Structure 1
Amino acid sequence: MTTRELLKQYWGHDNFRPMQEEIIASVLTGNDTLALLPTGGGKSVCFQVPAMARDGICIVVSPLIALMKDQVENLRAKGIDAISIVSGMSRREVDIALDNCIYGYTKFLYLSPERLLSELVQERIKYMNVNLFAVDEAHCISQWGYDFRPPYLHIADLRELHPKVPVLGLTATATADVREDIKEKLQFKPGSLTFQQSFARKNLSYVVRHTENKSRSLMDIATGIKGSGIIYTRSRKGTMDVAKFLNQNNIRADFYHAGLSADERAEKQEAWKNNRTRIIVATNAFGMGIDKPDVRFVAHLEIPDSLEAYYQEAGRGGRDEQKAYAVLLYDQIDRARREKMFVQNFPSVDEIKVVYHQLGNYCRVAYDTGEGASFDIDLAEFCAQYKLDPIKTLNSLKFLEQNEYVAFSESVYLPSRFRFEVLNEELYNFQIQNPGWEPFVKTLLRSYGGAFDNYVRLREFDLARRTAMSVQQVIEGLTQLQSFGLLSYLPQTDKPQITWTRPRQQNNNIYIDKADIDNRKATYRQKMEAVFAYAEHKRCRSQMLLAYFDEQNAPKCGSCDVCLAEKRRKNASEIFENITNEIVQLLSTDNYTITELITAIKPGNEKEKIETIRLLLDAGKIKTDGERYYL
């Protein structure tokens, strides 16, 4: 089957988007390939189609658990077997999933980069028939990137397991330095190809609005631009406050942040995607992988950490190629606020070590143990218990992750799942001997196929409805069957998680490179200053973004706030000049009253004509006796 036939059969499209076909052809030829496509450019198709065109499995490395979940569900809905392995899954679950990749019909295995550190995973990948390694968000491998993730550096280990398998790196944002770094770190072979679309978004109008009243400016945006919108703000409380403010002003809005339960997030997201909610107010936890084409505006209430992040978030507007607006609201307090956050983003080595020590106590992990173990963590409780600053603690965890002592996921949602641990015959005997359990076990068997081979998802609420039990009784029933050894039951989790990527160390064995912190600090400062420059300079916004991504000498967009202001100034100058010439011509042949003169002048509106006459009088270029005007 050709790639176009695959695209039509599984994705329902007759034609590829720009550059997709060339990228797919490069991968199928066996080339290592780097693909830079803008947000909404269809990166997933670039690895999914070639993987379907070849025997074997495609291993996809992605740092975004929510995105992996969405892609796995979308592939399964198309009848394509796909699984993801993320932190929080039990060793037994991982073991079964990996077996399915070797002996089953799985076409896509999605892994978080942290999972690549596991010996179990690496050992099993050796025995898989791999046809492609796809590295999503490939900029995370570069220390010069805006979202560096050290576990990404281990992706190159996969090449030793399958040296002939091509690697496809995908990202929406990468400067020239980052592009070269990606290819080096992924050990691209000679002859590798890079495909890059322009970062220009011609239908997206970039606007920076300097304002002392962001609420009023937000109302102007929400009422002035019709259609669906996203408003980004930094804090969870901010999302709720802004949504409340909009609703009080009769604008249908809702809020979204990572602290909500998975069901609440899914419900709010669906309501917005289906236009039951017009505007979603969110932290940057929202938007990645959400394909809503008709977003008419994306507004930022505070400046982002980097232009890479801003480009990705703003790029969620106008994916249908229709006119959309990316608006950044900016005031002078923003700079002072960011400078304060800059200090908090870089805790000292001693502060990082304190967080590590208390983390071990919180998780009750003994020294020299704990490798591979995952624990739910309530950050607010953790900070309160050990009297730690929340922002510095969060950033300390990120540095511990970068130095590969722990892996930290701010929110991991894993649904409830179960698997029968005995054969069908043994389960049947249990029902005969324990008739009281028969209705419950039979409902499980009828409701969830495949549970003898794999862990399957279950919803306790659905099971309660089918069995006429309460949700609590269902949980107790599953827990009891687990204690009998009949099944393995893993309840839903939706909390941040810590995974110990190596055994807990004594504090004097913890090495955090201060020079590395200083380097990151300098990189962060550079990126922060680029955002300030974007917000404060009066240059075409699109040109500034494109120059940042090394597209020099790009033409002016003609639609950003700077270009439009320039047009207005130019038009005003031309109109003034045309009206002046007309007045001089008229008065050189006769005298006119003000009414006669305004009527006789052809260019401009009445206000522009009166303003020009006033300016010419002030300059002494025309005169009046109080009634008539003359040269």
Structure 2
Amino acid sequence: MQTIHEILKQYWGFTEFRPLQQDIIESVLQGHDTLALLPTGGGKSICFQVPAMHMEGVCIVISPLIALMKDQVENLQKRDIKAVAIFSGMSYREIDIALDNCVYGDIKFLYMSPERLSTEIVKVRLRRMQVSFVVVDEAHCISQWGYDFRPSYLNIASLRELLPEAPFLALTATATTEVKQDIQEKLLFKDAKVFTKSFERKNLVYAVRKAENKHEKLLEIIRKVPGTGIVYVRNRRETQELARFLWINKISADFYHAGVPTAERFKKQNAWVNNKMRVMVCTNAFGMGIDKPDVRFVIHFEPSDSIESYYQEAGRAGRDEKRAFAVLLYCDADKVEMEQKQQQAFPEPEDVRAVYQALGNYFQLAIGGGEFLTYDLDINELCSRYNLKAVKVLNCFKFLEKDGYLNFSEGVFMPSRIKFVVNNDELYRFQIANSTFDIPIKIILRSYGNLFDNYVPIDEKLLASRTNINPVTYVQMLKKLDELNIINYLPQTDWPRVTFLTPRADAKTMFINKAYLDERKKNQQQKLTAMFNYADETAICRSVFIRSYFNESNAEDCGTCDICLERKKQVMQSVGFELFRNELVTLLNNGSVFFPEIHLHFANFSNDQITNFVRLLIDDGTLLLSENNHLMLSHQD
């Protein structure tokens, strides 16, 4: 069996692990329940992918975002590692085949959304699988004290009954002490090992710029900092307006949000990743799971909802560990707007009931019907038909999920897929008896492989051109073959989906947990207040503020954020600095001095003054501090 270092080298091309990665991997291999906190870009995926390749069986990965699951599966497959994902939008037969391959094949990774754990087909197959261990990605989602609580994550603990021998590995980039404890309790951890990497990002320069004219400040920053970057804004409309503003000012920019058609989103993303376009203006739908290490700046045009989300989004800069900038643009009006947004995010019970009623009417569900039925949802049409606001609808869905009424999954692009449901002999007889289908079927078989075993993504336009048939007519032919039970044809889709988990209730009498609504509102208000405090801070180092928020003690000033630089400026302008500098340079021209004894040469300065002055002179390159703690001029050997 390969060692973990040989696996790392063979599949990922690295010869060494990053800090804490090997410790986490060894904890998993020893069978411990493990919680690992690694900052964005800290290499969380390696922590479960390497031990999974070392162990027998399938690694189960629970992830909240379909796009992230698809991205990781594709990356593993590119490395010749067998991985599959199960999520909303797949047909029952596709799920059935994927699970069968995990039970009887050599699949190493099975990615699932947490909602899938409650389905019978998954429960039955998991009992038959040889499972190495369970990974809970974005584990903070399980805690109601976290910034992105997902009710469906509470289902994960049920895996303990199905897989009593499998250890759990929980991963997250952001968690306070309270959230870390909650994760372990909710996942029923035993004999737990907890690994926490410092939240310090030494190469990341934090800054807040207060500006009434944010557009001009944005231009100033982008023109000063070379390289690619991200600009986060609050809503979809702003992405387009700000991208156009940058474009008019001769900065290569584009916009991205969840409402952009999937094919166009891929095109925009690829242009930015490949440095064909410099700045992406986007909502927070952009960035998760995108592997681009050379992002030189992340600018927030408005504050985030919490320190957790700000830290994670800002952390997408400088993943190559070279200097990068995280800048927040802030003005007094932001507080008012975000407080209003906060009110919309926490609907009253009557709002939740109204949205549930509208949803049932939209799908024409009778009271008592619809249990476990899944529907594609056009949110814009729902809002238009029942005079609702999209923001309120989406927030109501969160509380309907918590109370177990439904599951809502974001839209995800699913290409058209086909699978032959007859065997070779039956297909041959069909072609002989139906000559009009003969050539099209032959072209499908020549164009794609594995069609009798799995659902295979297809391009209808390409197949139509090869068959010399109009694309519209070609799709009709595929639908006819589906009706004749020759193939299963699943057309392309990009819609969000709603699954009713219980029979439709009477909205007037349905239970809505108001105490929970109030508790979540209070919790989120505290997080928003912390974000405002960060933006308003003028004395505490930005890095120290963030690390203290995550309960990291004894953090030292970063020396590079806007507050540290302002403090340095004030010190350098203070009475005595130039005098100290000149006297020290004269002293060191005669040779190095042991730093702990430096105060003996400067009786007129306090120890704090001496320490601050020396730090500044080291920072600006005037001085060097040797390994044996001697101060010398930088031009001396």
Q: TM-score, normalised by structure 2?
A: 0.89
Residue 445 to residue 570, structure 1, CA distance change in 2 (3 Å): same
Taking the aligned partners of 1:213 and 1:575, their CA distance within structure 2 comes to 38
1:93 aligns with 2:94: yes
Cα distance, 1:507 vs structure 2: 2.0
Residue correspondence of structure 1 range 5-44 to structure 2 within 5 A? 5-44=6-45
Instruction: Work out whether residues 371 and 504 of structure 1, in 8 Å CA contact, stay in contact via their aligned partners in 2.
Output: yes
Residue correspondence of structure 1 range 583-622 to structure 2 within 5 A? none
Residue correspondence of structure 1 range 460-609 to structure 2 within 5 A? 460-538=460-538, 539-574=540-575, 578=579
Residue 485 to residue 334, structure 1, CA distance change in 2 (3 Å): same
Taking the aligned partners of 1:512 and 1:239, their CA distance within structure 2 comes to 35
| Aligned position for 1:180 | 181
- Greater shift, 358-367 or 209-218, is seen at 358-367
| Aligned position for 2:399 | 399
Cα offsets for 1:227-270 (capped at 9, x unmatched)? 01000011111111111111111100111111112111111111
Residue correspondence of structure 1 range 356-367 to structure 2 within 5 A? 356-367=356-367
Instruction: Work out whether residues 143 and 179 of structure 2, in 8 Å CA contact, stay in contact via their aligned partners in 1.
Output: yes
1:46 aligns with 2:50: no
Cα distance, 1:568 vs structure 2: 0.8
Taking the aligned partners of 2:118 and 2:100, their CA distance within structure 1 comes to 18
| Aligned position for 2:220 | 220
Instruction: Work out whether residues 482 and 489 of structure 1, in 8 Å CA contact, stay in contact via their aligned partners in 2.
Output: yes
Aligned residues: 581
Taking the aligned partners of 1:436 and 1:303, their CA distance within structure 2 comes to 61
Taking the aligned partners of 2:448 and 2:500, their CA distance within structure 1 comes to 33
| Aligned position for 2:587 | none
Instruction: Work out whether residues 87 and 499 of structure 1, in 8 Å CA contact, stay in contact via their aligned partners in 2.
Output: no
Cα distance, 1:447 vs structure 2: 1.8
Q: 2:405 is matched by which residue type in structure 1?
A: Y
SS at match of 1:110: strand
Cα distance, 1:398 vs structure 2: 1.5
Q: 2:407 is matched by which residue type in structure 1?
A: A
Residue 468 to residue 580, structure 1, CA distance change in 2 (3 Å): closer
Q: 1:21 is matched by which residue type in structure 2?
A: Q
- Greater shift, 362-371 or 552-561, is seen at 362-371
- Greater shift, 455-464 or 364-373, is seen at 364-373
Identity of aligned residues (%): 54
Residue correspondence of structure 1 range 87-486 to structure 2 within 5 A? 87-189=88-190, 191-486=191-486
Taking the aligned partners of 2:340 and 2:442, their CA distance within structure 1 comes to 60
Cα offsets for 1:470-517 (capped at 9, x unmatched)? 322221121110011101111111122212222222224521111100
Taking the aligned partners of 2:21 and 2:465, their CA distance within structure 1 comes to 46
Residue 16 to residue 427, structure 1, CA distance change in 2 (3 Å): same
| Aligned position for 1:619 | none
Taking the aligned partners of 1:373 and 1:541, their CA distance within structure 2 comes to 48
1:77 aligns with 2:97: no
Q: 1:3 is matched by which residue type in structure 2?
A: I
Cα distance, 1:464 vs structure 2: 2.4
Cα offsets for 1:431-489 (capped at 9, x unmatched)? 11112211110111122211211111112222223223332222112111001110111
Instruction: Work out whether residues 412 and 497 of structure 1, in 8 Å CA contact, stay in contact via their aligned partners in 2.
Output: no
Taking the aligned partners of 1:515 and 1:105, their CA distance within structure 2 comes to 47
Residue 369 to residue 106, structure 1, CA distance change in 2 (3 Å): farther
Taking the aligned partners of 1:393 and 1:167, their CA distance within structure 2 comes to 34
Cα distance, 1:285 vs structure 2: 0.2
Cα offsets for 1:71-109 (capped at 9, x unmatched)? 111111111111111112222221222112111221111
SS at match of 1:364: coil
Taking the aligned partners of 1:462 and 1:45, their CA distance within structure 2 comes to 37
Cα distance, 1:574 vs structure 2: 4.2
SS at match of 1:95: helix
Taking the aligned partners of 2:196 and 2:476, their CA distance within structure 1 comes to 55
Residue 232 to residue 580, structure 1, CA distance change in 2 (3 Å): closer
Cα distance, 1:580 vs structure 2: 14
Unaligned runs of 5+ in 2: 584-637
SS at match of 2:574: helix
Cα distance, 1:273 vs structure 2: 0.5
Taking the aligned partners of 2:111 and 2:59, their CA distance within structure 1 comes to 8
Structure possessing the higher radius of gyration over alpha carbons: 1
Taking the aligned partners of 1:218 and 1:152, their CA distance within structure 2 comes to 38
Q: 1:365 is matched by which residue type in structure 2?
A: L
SS at match of 1:293: coil
Taking the aligned partners of 1:581 and 1:325, their CA distance within structure 2 comes to 33
Instruction: Work out whether residues 303 and 330 of structure 2, in 8 Å CA contact, stay in contact via their aligned partners in 1.
Output: yes
SS at match of 1:404: coil
Cα offsets for 1:129-171 (capped at 9, x unmatched)? 1111000000000010000011111101111111111100000
1:60 aligns with 2:61: yes
SS at match of 1:209: strand
Q: 1:543 is matched by which residue type in structure 2?
A: V
- Greater shift, 218-227 or 507-516, is seen at 507-516
Residue 384 to residue 50, structure 1, CA distance change in 2 (3 Å): same
Unaligned runs of 5+ in 1: 583-631
Taking the aligned partners of 2:238 and 2:438, their CA distance within structure 1 comes to 51
Taking the aligned partners of 2:371 and 2:14, their CA distance within structure 1 comes to 46
Say what the alpha-carbon RMSD is for the aligned residues: 1.6
Instruction: Work out whether residues 347 and 396 of structure 1, in 8 Å CA contact, stay in contact via their aligned partners in 2.
Output: yes
Taking the aligned partners of 1:574 and 1:476, their CA distance within structure 2 comes to 84
SS at match of 1:58: strand
SS at match of 2:411: strand
Cα distance, 1:367 vs structure 2: 2.6
Taking the aligned partners of 2:399 and 2:223, their CA distance within structure 1 comes to 43
Cα distance, 1:192 vs structure 2: 1.3
Taking the aligned partners of 1:574 and 1:470, their CA distance within structure 2 comes to 83
Residue 102 to residue 579, structure 1, CA distance change in 2 (3 Å): closer
Taking the aligned partners of 1:518 and 1:230, their CA distance within structure 2 comes to 34
Q: 2:571 is matched by which residue type in structure 1?
A: K
Residue 426 to residue 187, structure 1, CA distance change in 2 (3 Å): same
Instruction: Work out whether residues 571 and 577 of structure 2, in 8 Å CA contact, stay in contact via their aligned partners in 1.
Output: no
Instruction: Work out whether residues 210 and 331 of structure 2, in 8 Å CA contact, stay in contact via their aligned partners in 1.
Output: yes
| Aligned position for 2:610 | none
Q: 1:241 is matched by which residue type in structure 2?
A: E
Taking the aligned partners of 1:80 and 1:502, their CA distance within structure 2 comes to 38
Cα offsets for 1:312-341 (capped at 9, x unmatched)? 000000001110000000000000001111
Cα distance, 1:365 vs structure 2: 2.5
Q: 1:500 is matched by which residue type in structure 2?
A: F
Instruction: Work out whether residues 140 and 172 of structure 2, in 8 Å CA contact, stay in contact via their aligned partners in 1.
Output: yes
Cα offsets for 1:265-294 (capped at 9, x unmatched)? 111111001100011111000000111011
Taking the aligned partners of 1:327 and 1:465, their CA distance within structure 2 comes to 50
After TM superposition, the runs of 4+ consecutive aligned structure 1 residues lying more than 6 A away are 579-582
Taking the aligned partners of 2:170 and 2:581, their CA distance within structure 1 comes to 60
SS at match of 1:464: helix
| Aligned position for 1:593 | none
Cα distance, 1:543 vs structure 2: 0.6
Instruction: Work out whether residues 461 and 471 of structure 2, in 8 Å CA contact, stay in contact via their aligned partners in 1.
Output: yes
